[in-house]
Amino acid sequence: MRTILCDLDGVLICTTGLHDKTFAQAAAELGIDLRGVAWPEAITSIDKLTRLGVTDPAVVSAVKRRKNQLYAEQLSTAARFHPAIAARIAEAKRRHGFRFGICTNSTAVGADAMVSLLGLQEVADLVLNQECVANPKPAPDIYLLGMRLLSATPEETTIYEDSEPGIAAARATGASAILTTYEEMYRRIESCVF
């Protein structure tokens, strides 16, 4: 059976800047000054703290916990998304008979908040987040796990991604990998072209 796997943020929802904003807010609340600090595109919160010399596990955990809380609180007002996306994907699944999974580098808290906001809980056949695998993207682990759990081969799987680390992960699986944007993905969903 044909399988569609999608990244979440940047493909099904757009939260540009929200991760950095809530990370900075959480760090500031705990006395860590991030003003004037620039980060590479694909760097985790832990890596950011480590580069600043913050290695105390209790502080790192507190920043991550608060960042996730702020992210979930601000998501509904900061994110751009199409309210009908869940209904459109459900309709496309019925019409074309494919499995649909979400594979995101977001935390469980962030992924759950986005999936809930989009109404995809009942539509997605699986939702995997960074906590489901030992090696996040650009490693292919999350997509390989998604294919295994959906009993899909690379030949019958198409993966949609919006970032270079994500597309590298997708290509490493042997599946068809398509670089897309959130706007383009919604047009694909609207017209049932996957």
Amino acid at 52: L
pTM value?
A: 0.88
The pLDDT tens digits of the residues spanning 54-94 come to: 888 898 889 989 998 999 899 999 999 998 999 999 999 99
Give the 3-state secondary structure of residue 170. helix
Q: Distance between CA atoms of 137 and 142, rounded to whole angstroms?
A: 7
Given a cut of 80, whether residue 10 has pLDDT beyond it is yes
127 and 115 Cβ atoms separated by less than 8 Å: yes
Give pLDDT, residue 142. 98
pLDDT digits (tens, 9 = 90+) for 127-178: 999 999 999 999 999 999 999 999 999 999 999 999 999 999 999 999 999 9
- pLDDT score recorded for residue 41: 58
Integer distance in angstroms from the first to the last C-alpha of the chain?
Answer: 14
pLDDT of residue 39: 66
Instruction: Check if the beta carbon of residue 75 is closer than 8 Å to that of residue 124.
Output: no
What residue segments make up the domains of the chain, in order of their start?
3-14+81-191, 18-78
In the predicted structure, residue 51 carries a pLDDT above the cut 90: no
Fold of 3-14+81-191: Rossmann fold (3.40.50)
pLDDT at 34 over 90: no
Q: At what angle do helices 57-78 and 18-29 cross, to 10 degrees?
A: 140
- Please state which of the ranges 3-12, 129-138, 158-167, 184-193 shows the lowest mean pLDDT: 184-193
